[in-house]
Amino acid sequence: MLNDLPRHKGQRNKLVKLLITKGIRQPEVLKAIGKIPRHLFMDSSFEDFAYQDKAFPIAAGQTISQPYTVAFQSELLQVKPGMKVLEIGTGSGYQASVLHEMGCKVHSIERQKELFDITRQTMRKLGYYFDMKFGDGFAGLPSFAPFERIIVTCGAPKIPEKLLAQMSIGARMVIPVGEGSQVMKLVIRDADGSFSVEDFGDFRFVPMLGSKNV
Ligand code: SAH
């Protein structure tokens, strides 16, 4: 792996310990975060901060989510290897790489062309081969539906109907909902096809916006 040094590994181990003190428990999530070189998903000028538990700016005015948030959403998703997962908001590709590392078949959508192009190149360099699509997350990815898991990594004004329609029976969707700040919601599609929704605390994400053809 390019420029992943023992000191980075050491910093990752510390980050994993911190996430445990914050309540993250699932070994597969901790293992993925302990393995993935987060500093290589960010501008090199932020390298020294990459293993702090903080969100950071990436291209096109967007952010790489805070490690705790990535861990929290990944844990709430309850993935198993081989599951088909849809992510809305590829951003830096870090969250998608965590799920990929956990054995999921990840499809990820990003609406900003500039960021999409940069991240696609970075993922190639790092060798994280998940499916990336440039498009509007509100529409989901009908050609690959249904999904067993959906994760939204931008703040949605409400739960998009089209994403609900792309959930298989038993599927889980983790989505932050709200303007300004968001409530993390877990949506489960029950055996009879109905949906149940549970709340999991307040978070802050960049907004989920409509399509933008740039
Ligand atoms: N998962 C990312 C977090 C990036 S921030 C990571 O690990 O780095 C959220 C991203 O959602 C931004 O890149 C933003 O451009 C994107 N986004 C916002 N609205 C969107 C939409 N409607 N469809 C797809 N992506 C969207």
Q: Give me the pLDDT at residue 72, please.
A: 98
Spatial distance between the Cα atoms of 28 and 40, rounded to a whole number of angstroms: 21
Classified as helix, coil or strand, 40 is helix
User: Does the pLDDT of residue 214 top 70, yes or no?
Assistant: no
Does ligand 1 have an atom closer than 6 angstroms to the CB of 151?
no
Q: Is residue 168 part of a domain?
A: yes
- Dump pLDDT digits (tens) for 150-178: 999 999 999 999 999 999 999 999 999 99
Mean pLDDT over the full length of the chain: 95
Does ligand 1 have an atom closer than 6 angstroms to the CB of 97?
no
The values of phi and psi at residue 95, to 5°, are: -60, -45
Does ligand 1 have an atom closer than 6 angstroms to the CB of 116?
no
65 catalytically annotated: yes
Q: How far is the CA of 133 from the centre of ligand 1 (A)?
A: 12
Geometric angle at alpha carbon 107, from 101 and 110, rounded to 5° = 110
User: Does the pLDDT of residue 1 top 70, yes or no?
Assistant: no
* CATH code, 183: 3.40.50.150
What ligand 1 atom has the least distance to the C-alpha of 210? 22
Longest dimension (CA), the chain: 51
Q: Give the burial class of 99: count Cβ atoms within 10 A of its Cβ; 0-12 exposed, 13-18 middle, 19 or more buried.
A: buried
Rounded to an integer, the average pLDDT of 28-39 is: 97
Q: How far is the CA of 65 from the centre of ligand 1 (A)?
A: 10
User: Does the pLDDT of residue 30 top 70, yes or no?
Assistant: yes
pLDDT band at 33 (very low <50, low <70, confident <90, very high): very high
- Is 0.75 topped by the overall pTM? yes
Q: Give me the pLDDT at residue 2, please.
A: 67
Q: How far is the CA of 28 from the centre of ligand 1 (A)?
A: 24
User: Does the pLDDT of residue 145 top 60, yes or no?
Assistant: yes
Q: Is residue 214 part of a domain?
A: no
Percentage of the chain modeled with pLDDT above 90:
90
Spatial distance between the Cα atoms of 116 and 8, rounded to a whole number of angstroms: 26
pLDDT band at 212 (very low <50, low <70, confident <90, very high): low
Contacts of 42 (CB under 8 A, 6+ apart): 50, 56, 58, 64, 92
Q: Is residue 137 part of a domain?
A: yes
Spatial distance between the Cα atoms of 159 and 176, rounded to a whole number of angstroms: 9
Range of the domain at 81: 55-203
Q: How far is the CA of 6 from the centre of ligand 1 (A)?
A: 31
> Of the residues 45, 65, 108, 211, which is catalytic?
65
Among candidate residues 139, 83, 85, 134, the one with its CA nearest the CA of residue 113 = 134
Provide the 10 A C-beta neighbour count for residue 25: 10
Task: Give the residue whose CA is nearest to atom 2 of ligand 1.
Answer: 91
* Domains identified in the chain, total number: 1
Q: Is residue 198 part of a domain?
A: yes
What ligand 1 atom has the least distance to the C-alpha of 154? 9
User: Does the pLDDT of residue 87 top 70, yes or no?
Assistant: yes
Q: Is residue 5 part of a domain?
A: no
